[in-house]
Amino acid sequence: MTLLHALVLLPALGALGAAVHRTEAYRTGWLLVIAALHLVLTGLAWTGAPPPTLGGWIALDAIGLIVLTVVSVLFAAVAVYAVGYLRRENPRGGRAFVSCLLAFLSAASLVALSHHFALLWIGLEATTLAVAPLIFHRHDRRSLEAVWKYLMLSSVGIALALLGTFLLAASQSVSGDAVRPLVLEDLMAGAPQLHPAWLKAACVFLLVGYGTKMGLVPLHAWKPDTYAVAPGLVAGLMAGVLTMIAFLGLTRITQVMIAAGLGGFVTPLLLTFGLASLAVGAAFIIGQSDLKRMLAYSSVEHMGLLTLGLGLGGGSAYGALLHAVNNGLAKGLLFLTAGNVVLAAGGVAGDQRGLLRRAPASAILLLAGLLAVAGSPPFGTFLSEFTIVRGAFGAGHPWIGAAALLCLAVAFVGMARLIVPMVYGTSAEPGGREARGGENAWLVAGPVALALGVLLLGLFVPPALQRQLAAAAAVLGGRAP
Amino acid sequence: MSGPAELVLLLVVLASFLVLGTARLSTGVRAVAFQGVLLGLVPLLLFPTWSWHRAALAAGTMAIKGVIVPRFLLWAIREAAVRREMEPRLGYVPSLLLGTVVLAVAFALAGRWPVPEGGGTLLVPVAVATVVHGLLVLTASRKAVTQVVGYIMMENGIYLFGLTQAERVPFLVELGVLLDVFVGVFIMGIVVFHINREFDSIKASRLVEGAE
């Protein structure tokens, strides 16, 4: 068994193991162990490139390694948080909860490692299903509505992505028998021989299918409802991990299109989706009264930014990959903290003001998260957003650059108007609820680690990461700025 | 491409129109079941030589799409006491007209696409039309059950397109069975939670009742 197999199998076996354990403490301990081991395996993957296995279906390239690392790091933070969360809010026993979390990790790792479009699709389909019971954790009417809406839209997206995968296979049918069907390396090597009509159709369907999973406008309708209802750690996993692996699906097809010399077909599509998501996300941030709903629109906005960067290519593609890392960490930080805010307010319907007094650590984390997600200077998001926007100006698209800057500014003001009063304001109902707002180390450690991560990436991008980012950007028609 | 395969593909289109035009929910489900049985016949008729793989694909498709899923759906309608009408947002006549336009466009476009090996000229346009007909039913429906019917139709269209690659890429069409997992989850949802109408957007005014 190689390292690559272990990265997928370990959490899959962990999911089965968690279903067997009867005691809550065992299950959460088990979750921590698996998350830590997964992190160690991911670290090992950085030390040397493991050889491809399963006939080239499973392999690790630069983009895959970056995505895998974000998945693993964010999951570790979520696992620590889950220990504290399940003690506080656990309506039906966390048995299925921990199993679904680990199954999700397994499927997400599979997506990061797959170099075969059908395998990639299977992984994304599995993540969609694994997340559904997690969203439904509270078992109330609103969760049911949210999970139905999420499943309906995602399943249509997934079905269209399957059609896109079939079309991609059809584009290879003229290439002869020597190629391995749907294997990324063979698609890239034989890209000029692919049939352009089928390839273009495949690109459109994969873009729409995986775009639905990312929540790009106009396919984002499920996002606000789902994020608002899902527990904070689940929303964090969705905004940080699920969107990231869907973005990986988008980069894979973009990669093939560029290799096939059809970059001119895919670029306008990516730019349109990107700008629309950026604008709609920013516009809807204004006036939101619910923290997690607002963060959902922020996620739409940042997915737009990633897609825009991918479409612009050049330095922006490098920036988009760096931003995918930063955004993953920042969204994890914010949604975990938002979970604390809900716990401190005594439920989703509670009064969330006066946080500084009731949950001081979470209040400070929320302010840090606001600065991080808005791209303020000491944080990594500033660097990556700056790189994307500078790339737009450099590539001769000053209007796109200016529009992106305007959207980012609008979003910052909109978020600050909700978060600042939430932190400093005074609660309408003094006393009483105070006792329910107790924070503990489990609930704070994860977000603190993520905040430090996104802060460190703003001060210093490690050379190893820089090399991987540059290598990843190179296949997307980009370069290190 | 042989005559019988073309006939079966035309019947597939007819089944879609039956769903678009009927007012009775059970007729819609039966039409989809009929479509499922037809889909099982297509691989056998398209490639007349015998192979175990194709026989298994045909048998599996007929069993799942033709019998199991539709029965499960009819059971859910009884169990959840869903009203017996389709109740689409779009009227039946406009639906049929739109369906016809879709079919015409699919055939017009199909001339521009390369014909896949062994697929014949009808397979691709019928597949595309079935996907769009399914999406039409899905988006026009106000009820959870009809949404599922639309989803199954869409899935059927995707399966038909997958058949063009079935001979070249092993186990690609079979991936479609993973979509049936969603169908199963939807039907269970309808039964367990008595989901009847499609949900509207969750309104901020209703945030309060969320904390049950």
Q: What is the 3-state secondary structure (H, E, C) of chain B?
A: CCHHHHHHHHHHHHHHHHHHHCCEHHHHHHHHHHHHHHHHHHHHHHCCCCCHHHHHHHHHHHHHHHHHHHHHHHHHHHHCCCCCECCECCCHHHHHHHHHHHHHHHHHHHCCCCCCCCCCCCHHHHHHHHHHHHHHHHHHECEHHHHHHHHHHHHHHHHHHHHHHHCCCCCCHHHHHHHHHHHHHHHHHHHHHCCCECCCCCCHHHCHHHCC
Q: Which of B4, B12, B39 is nearest to B125 (CA)?
A: B12
Mean pLDDT of all residues in B155-163: 93
DSSP state of A347: S
Take residue B58 and report the two structure tokens written for it: 């045909």
In chain B, whose CA is at the least distance from the CA of A342?
B211
Phi, psi of A183 (to 5 degrees): -80, 130
Reported residue count of chain A is 481
Q: Is the pLDDT of residue B1 over 60?
A: no
Could you tell me where the beta strands, DSSP code E, fall in A153-312?
A: none
H or E segment and range at residue A180: none
Window 244-303 of A, Cβ < 8 Å to B: 289-290
Instruction: Give the model's pLDDT for residue B35.
Output: 96
- Nearest-Cα distance to chain A for B162, in Å, is 6
Dist CA A187 CA B127 (whole Å): 25
Percent of chain B exceeding pLDDT 90 equals 42
Are the CB atoms for A385 and A408 separated by under 8 Å? yes
This model of the complex carries an ipTM of 0.91
In this structure, the number of other CB atoms found within 10 A of the CB of residue A90 comes to 13
Radius of gyration of chain B (CA): 18
pLDDT tens-digit readout, B42-80: 988 888 788 888 899 999 999 999 999 999 999 998 888
Q: How far apart are CA A316 and CA A479, in angstroms?
A: 8
Name which of A365, A363, A343 is nearest A447 in CA terms.
A365
Which positions in chain A touch B188 (Cβ < 8 Å)? none
How far is the C-alpha of B150 from the C-alpha of B137, rounded, in Å?
A: 5
Task: Report DSSP state, residue A440.
Answer: -
Q: Does A131 touch chain B (CB under 8 A)?
A: no
Q: How far apart are CA A104 and CA A98, in angstroms?
A: 10
E strands, A51-208, where? none
Residue of chain B nearest A289, judged by CA positions:
B204
pLDDT for the residue B200:
46
**Rama region for A9: left / alpha / beta (φ>0; ψ in -120 to 50; rest):** alpha
Cis ω before A218 (30° cut-off from 0): yes
Percent of residues in chain A assigned helix, strand, coil, to nearest 5: 80, 0, 20
- Residues of chain B with a CB closer than 8 angstroms to some CB in chain A: 112-114, 116-117, 131, 135, 138, 144, 147, 151, 154-155, 157-158, 161-162, 164-165, 168-169, 172, 175-176, 178-179, 181-182, 185-186, 189, 193, 195, 199, 201-202, 204, 206-212
pLDDT < 70 regions, chain A: 1, 91-94, 175-177, 347-352, 427-438
Amino acid found at A449: A
Distance CA A389, CA A337 (A): 29
Residue B116 pLDDT class (50, 70, 90 cuts): low
User: How confident is the model at residue B210, as a pLDDT?
Assistant: 38
Give the range among A260-269, A432-441, B16-25, B185-194 with minimum mean pLDDT. Answer: A432-441
Nearest residue to A302 via CA among A278, A321, A320: A278
pLDDT at B144: 86
**A-B C-beta contacts closer than 8 Å:** 113
The DSSP bridge partners found for residue B143 are B197
| Phi (first) and psi of residue A478, to 5 degrees | -115, -175
What b/e readout covers A206-240, taking b as 16+ CB neighbours within 10 angstroms? Answer: bbbbbbbbbbbbebbbbbbbbbbbbbbbbbbbbbb
- pLDDT of A160: 95
A225 touching B, CB under 8 A? yes
**Cβ burial B80-103 (10 Å sphere, 16+ → b, else e):** bebeeebebebeeeebeebbeebb
Query: How many angstroms away from the CA of B190 is the closest CA of chain A?
Result: 10
Is pTM beyond 0.90 here? Answer: yes
> If we measure between CA atoms, which residue out of A78, A3, A5, A4 comes closest to residue A35?
A78
In chain B, where are the structural domains located?
Answer: 3-198
Q: What residue ranges do the domains of chain A occupy?
A: 263-481
B interface test, pick of A92, A121, A125, A155 with most B CB neighbours within 10 Å: A155
